[in-house]
A and B are shown apart, each in its own frame.
Chain A
Amino acid sequence: MEKMKLKILYSDLKSDIDIIEKELEKALNSSSHLINDASLHLLQSGGKRIRPVFVLVSAKFGHYNIDKVKNIAVPLELIHMASLVHDDVIDNSDLRRGTHTVKAQWNNRVAMYTGDFIFARALEYVTSIENKRVHQILAKTMVEICNGEVIQIEDKFRKDQNLKDYFRRIKRKTALLIESSCELGAVVGGLDDKSVGHLRRFGYFVGMSYQIVDDILDFTATDKELGKPAGSDLLQGNITLPILLLKGNPTIDQFIDQASVGEVTESGRLEMLKVVRNSDSIKQSITISNQYLRKALKEVEALPNHPMKKKLRDIALFIGKRKF
């Protein structure tokens, strides 16, 4: 159902998304059979391709040329894919979207080389753009994403963290790449600085909402919908918004303590999920996500009149209401 909604949402961009898909396949082509297998595995495991879509839609506000725009849309998706491959090593995840991760299918080292290969392909691809500003934005984003991940590891199982820590972390972890997707699409489309700013901020607010929804879904969706056990974030020590809003809850505190020493039982996980699902923290998290969405929509309003404004609004609203 959700995938159908997304398909409808992207329908008028379909021909360009198809170009992006083909380019992704081309970019991942390698003389190494193993890299080809691992990359194909990644491509087939799907993904919402929201970063390329944000690039395309943002660029449509300016002088749109898919042959130019793809040069930033493709690398952004590649960077996202590469970081997922490395994240699965960090999180020791065997499943992503219901399929085996590269590290589970082969091993950690294969995942490292595959990720490095994809990162390099992304940069190779983006060098067809000679604009220094584009590279500066992208490079800064890559470094900041890394910094966010370092902070995430430092914050694991840390019960004394606050909302500011969480927002700072998800900004770097997720919002930045979506922010950059919108900004870079706008820059490549040749938009004026004011519009670039609106689209950049739109991307940031939508990115924050996207991650909050992701963190909510980790507790509210089923194992099947998630393609991994619900509550995996907390099992790995990632203390997200719904948990921060439950600060001091004895069941949750006990669960974090047990998870930190790898002593969580299945009944303990189900009990934790019950506590989170029956609490107010999910509702409060949705409210905070919606606040970010409202801010994103305000940025859309400030953009010059253009048919793509409706598309931006629709995508933002889909992200806020999505169920997977």
Chain B
Amino acid sequence: MDATYIQQSIEQLKTNIFMHVRHRTLLQYTGTPVVNENQLFYLLLPFLNGEKWNKQIDESAITVGIVHASLYEHEKINEKNALNKEQQLTVLSGDFYSGRYYEILARSGNISLIRQLSEGIVSRCEHQMKVYESKQYTIDQWYETISVIQTELIKRFYQVYEFEQYSAFMHTGLLLLQLLEEYRHLQQGKPSILFKKMIESAEDEKLFESMIENQISSLKNLLNEYLQSSNVLKDDLKLYIKQQIALN
């Protein structure tokens, strides 16, 4: 297995997600669903590492991808002005994808995954809402929020199929990748709402930048430790994860 095979597997999952939520009008106005390839990689990690992977698990991975796409659609909604047709249909595309994931799992009678994903969405929404609360949170609490938003649904998927031995890689890897992306936006002068709230918590932008740099550095060390000490993960995958971080 090499990086090309991993990339092809991610592409295949992406294609399957698109196929399951295909809708003529939504496609025309809101485009294809947005999926995060880093998340797709960690969804597929047990499969790529040679774990038992059947049709049901494959379908479940597709639905987790659909839920991510659904929630992402709603993040595209403008806070003040959602008057145009694209925005209106973006609201509905998120709802449509959400209905489709439920429909797919209902057809196969996978009630336990429906329950896990619903609980995961609840938790994610509660964390997403924090940026609109007047309450002050600490920087560590904000890291927790980023982590929940990035990893919660994959964590639930791992729980259902007993892939929890991959949780530490996934948790550290996705938090690190997201912080790298957010940090890049900050440097470009376009911080996300969440990062703006974090700056408020740190009370000083320069101090905040160094805090983030330290956090990124310790997460890199932690991930390296996991990779070095792991007997679970194949070498090709360890290399891929390292390259993924280096590229970001």
Contacts and interface: CB of A to CB of B under 8 A. Distances in A.
Nearest to A142: B99
B95 A146 contact: yes
Contacts of A32: 125-126, 129-130, 133
Given A34-B132, A132-B106, 9 more contacts: A83-B95, A90-B88, A109-B79, A113-B74, A127-B112, A132-B109, A138-B106, A142-B103, A146-B92
Given A33-B133, A109-B132, A130-B111, A142 B102 contact: yes
Contacts of A135: 102, 105-106, 109, 111, 114
Interface of A: 30-35, 83, 86, 89-90, 92, 106-110, 112-117, 119-121, 123-124, 127, 130, 132, 135-136, 138-140, 142-143, 145-147, 149-150, 153-154
A142 B95 CA distance: 8
Contacts of B94: 112, 116
Nearest to B106: A135
A153 B122 contact: no
A143 B89 contact: no
B131 to A, nearest CB: 9
Interface in B166-208: none
8 contacts: A107-B132, A109-B74, A109-B79, A116-B71, A119-B95, A136-B103, A142-B95, A154-B25
Contacts of B80: 107-108
A130 B98 CA distance: 20
B129 A35 contact: yes
B141 to A, nearest CB: 12
Nearest to A110: B132
A239 B61 CA distance: 41
B234 interface: no
Interface string B56-87: 00000000000000010011011111110100
B25 A127 contact: no
A38 to B, nearest CB: 9
Interface in B97-126: 98-100, 102-103, 105-107, 109, 111-112, 114-115, 117-119, 121-122, 125-126
A139 B132 contact: no
A107 B74 CA distance: 13
B82 A30 contact: no
A90 B103 contact: no
B135 interface: yes
Nearest to B73: A112
Nearest to A117: B125
A92 B23 CA distance: 24
Nearest to A141: B99
B128 interface: yes
Nearest to A109: B79
Given A116-B74, A150-B23, A124 B115 contact: yes
A83 to B, nearest CB: 8
A123 B117 CA distance: 9
Nearest to B114: A127
Contacts of A150: 23, 25-26, 89, 92, 96
A90 B78 CA distance: 11
A120 to B, nearest CB: 4
A119 B91 contact: no
Given A32-B130, A35-B129, A113-B129, A121 B122 contact: yes
A140 B105 CA distance: 11
Contacts of A145: 99
Given A124-B118, A150-B96, A108 B77 contact: yes
A129 to B, nearest CB: 8
A123 B102 contact: yes
B133 A34 contact: yes
A138 B106 CA distance: 9
B122 to A, nearest CB: 5
Contacts of A108: 77-82
Name the residue in B71, B75, B126, B135 with the highest tally of chain A Cβ atoms < 10 Å from its Cβ: B126
Nearest to A144: B99
Contacts of A106: 132
Contacts of B71: 116
Contacts of B105: 135, 139
Contacts of A90: 82, 88, 91-92
B95 to A, nearest CB: 5
A153 B119 CA distance: 31
Nearest to B112: A127
Contact of B125 (A113, A130, A132, A153): A113
Contacts of A110: 129, 132
Given A30-B126, A136-B107, A139-B103, A123 B132 contact: no
B125 A120 contact: yes
